[in-house]
Amino acid sequence: MALVFISPVDDPDTWREALLARLPDLDFRVGPDEVGDPAEIDLALTWRPQPGALAAFPNLKAILALGAGVDGLLADATLPDVPLCRMVDPALTRGMIDYVLLAVLRHHRGFDLLERQQRARRWGFAMPRMVEDTTVGVMGLGVLGRAVAEAIARHGFTTRGWSRTPKQVAGVTTFAGEAGFDDFLAATDMLVCLLPATRETAGIVDARSLAKLPKGAFVINAARGHHVVDEDLLAAIASGHVAGATLDVFHREPLPPEHPFWAEERILVTPHCAAYSDASSGADYVAENIRRARDGRPLLNVVDRARGY
């Protein structure tokens, strides 16, 4: 099979090496230079291709995304109508667990406040709450949200989760659908967003949902900027209702220098670095999907295009 690799950020050589170790017969070509005849390409392994780039391959059988979120790919109206598979990679999941746990602990132990105090050369100390007295609420209980919620619960935080359909997650009190959303928010001291970017989830972290959180809550968004109404979050922080936020993703990336998030000292801005797929751990999964495509078997983690994730 011929696979074209197209990504402005991922290293083609590590993916080539990892995939050829598992599939020595794979014809691995890096776009655009090594594409050759576009009609020979069966598969695309890709992240953030230029809009229209994948339409150039008339015999494409599947698109294998190098990321978990496929909103960028689906935004391309010319995306070929072939199965699109999301990335599921233990290293990506591990990275997300670490990122969210770090953010939760930073807010829980008041390191955000201590950092501000240091800048002001001020010595101050407040007793932190017990972990079990802080409730973390995870929106989205898919591959990443479930693993994150389980890790947070194992750490001792009271943990809630919210998803579209009902779920059971060890140590986590779960809520589902619109009917469960307000109850989920009502006791959530730290709101973690790990939802996919879809029509239904656009602007879900808005003035209305922020107002439902207990006073002094924190927001951690590691999913997409699409989920947050920026002005509403800034207003909630300015009023003191929300105590601060950790934001990894934004409507425009890189976050423009004039954006007010940069200047709000109660917001930590990180540059979409929460979690990455890694060839050494993700190649088993990608190789399995390549074998399945070659053998005409059902692929793993195919996106439901109507649902958007």
Neighbours of 232 (CB within 10 A): 18
**69 lies in the binding site for ligand OXD (CB under 6 A):** yes
**223 lies in the binding site for ligand NDP (CB under 6 A):** yes
Which of 72-80, 138-146, 210-218, 237-245 is the region at the interface with ligand NDP (rule: CB under 6 A)?
138-146
Which of 64-72, 117-125, 172-180, 213-221 is the region at the interface with ligand OXD (rule: CB under 6 A)?
64-72
Q: Which is nearer to ligand NDP, 85 or 242 (CB)?
A: 85
**Minimum CB distance to ligand NDP, residue 240 (Å):** 27
Q: Which residues are catalytic?
A: 224, 272
Among 18, 64, 85, 143, binds ligand NDP (CB under 6 A): 143
**225 lies in the binding site for ligand NDP (CB under 6 A):** no
**31 lies in the binding site for ligand NDP (CB under 6 A):** no
Residues numbered 169-198 forming contacts with ligand NDP, rule: CB under 6 A:
194-198
**Minimum CB distance to ligand OXD, residue 260 (Å):** 23
Q: Which is nearer to ligand OXD, 21 or 273 (CB)?
A: 273
Which position's Cβ is nearest ligand NDP?
142
Strands lying side by side in the sheet with 62-65: 27-30, 2-6, 43-46, 62-65, 84-85
**248 lies in the binding site for ligand NDP (CB under 6 A):** yes
Which of 14-22, 65-73, 131-139, 293-301 is the region at the interface with ligand OXD (rule: CB under 6 A)?
65-73
**145 lies in the binding site for ligand OXD (CB under 6 A):** no
Among 6, 15, 57, 67, binds ligand OXD (CB under 6 A): 67
The residues of the shown chain that bind ligand NDP, judged by CB under 6 A, are 68-69, 92, 140-145, 163-165, 194-198, 200-201, 222-224, 248-249, 272, 274-275, 309
